[in-house]
Amino acid sequence: MSTLGGLSIGIDGQALRLLLSQSRSISQSSLWPYLPVLERLGLAIALGLFVGLERERRDKEAGIRTFGFAALIGGLGGLLGVSYALFGLGFLALQVVIFNWHTMVTERRIELTTSSAFIVTGFVGVLAGQGHTLTPTAVAVATVGLLAVKERLRGLSATLTETELRAAILLGVLAFVIYPALPSGALDRWGLIDARAAWVAVVLIATIGFIDYVLLKLYGAKGIALAGFLAGLVNSKVAITELASRTHDGSQRYARATFHGVILATIATVLRNAGLLLLLAPAA
């Protein structure tokens, strides 16, 4: 409490702190008006360099700097507006055409994979320039992942049999053709029969079994343990049932790996439930 000219002026400490914080934020925004712009462009460049790093490791002509510039062009287009973004993506597409024409003339081949990654990087830059964070980051990580597993994917396709291909098609039919066509809700008056809920269990078992088979083929016995952990994040009971079926026929070849997979499935379920608890009830 202070007096000025015979009048008492009460100064609330909380109001004073609020006033100071507001003035501080105003001064910061006036000093750094382009901070959001720098953050968006920085994210675009970082993601472009991340994708280009993988291409640089494989001694591609379009390497880390080229992909960084592609993401920067996309980021600038995303900042300036849709028309500028389209112009930037068109410019990148023109670069791809020129690059492939030169490669086709000199080396008699076309760099389709690098060209596709280059265009995707441009879109990543546009998304980052528009203010998105999660989507461009996820796309960049997925792009690098696809580029990095080239040899494994080629090895898998080379050893893929007709039976395995039919199994993959059947899984797609179960999940994306039959499931959407099933009626939602209970089919009987007592609410006991739910076709969609029952079919989800069928799709889960088939999916876990398919992933288990693919990982086993790629990584051997270690793939079973990895499949158990991933499946445990979805449904531990289904995961354990599917893993246990490997030793049900009396074969003990992967018994130890199956045991580890069951343990990891249980651990994954505990971690999933703990994460959900922290998100939904942090006070608990």
Q: Tens digit of pLDDT for each residue in 8-54? A: 444 455 554 544 554 454 444 455 567 888 999 999 999 999 999 98
Mean per-residue pLDDT, 256-270: 83
Percent of the residues in the chain that have a pLDDT greater than 70, as a whole number: 83
Place of tokens 């980052």: 128
Percent of the residues in the chain that have a pLDDT greater than 90, as a whole number: 25
Place of tokens 């079919």: 199
What was the pLDDT predicted at 44? 94
* Structure tokens that stand for 5 in this block: 């000219």
What is the rounded distance in angstroms from the CA atom of residue 204 to the CA atom of residue 201? 5
The 3-state DSSP class for residue 200 equals helix
pTM of this prediction?
Answer: 0.59
pLDDT-wise least confident of 113-117, 150-154, 168-172: 150-154
Helices and strands, number each (H, E), in the chain: 13, 2
Hey, what amino acid is at 65?
A: R
What is the rounded distance in angstroms from the CA atom of residue 74 to the CA atom of residue 53? 18
| Mean pLDDT of the residues in the chain | 79
Highest mean pLDDT among 46-55, 61-70, 102-111: 46-55
Hey, what amino acid is at 67?
A: F
Contacts of 65 (CB under 8 A, 6+ apart): 52
What was the pLDDT predicted at 229? 82
Place of tokens 């066509």: 181
Cα of 118 vs its chain's centroid, Å: 18
Burial class (CB in 10 A: 0-12, 13-18, 19+), 2: exposed
pLDDT band, residue 247 (cuts 50/70/90):
low
Instruction: Count Cα neighbours of 218 within 13 Å in the Cβ-side half-sphere.
Output: 19
Mean per-residue pLDDT, 150-154: 75
Mean per-residue pLDDT, 160-174: 82
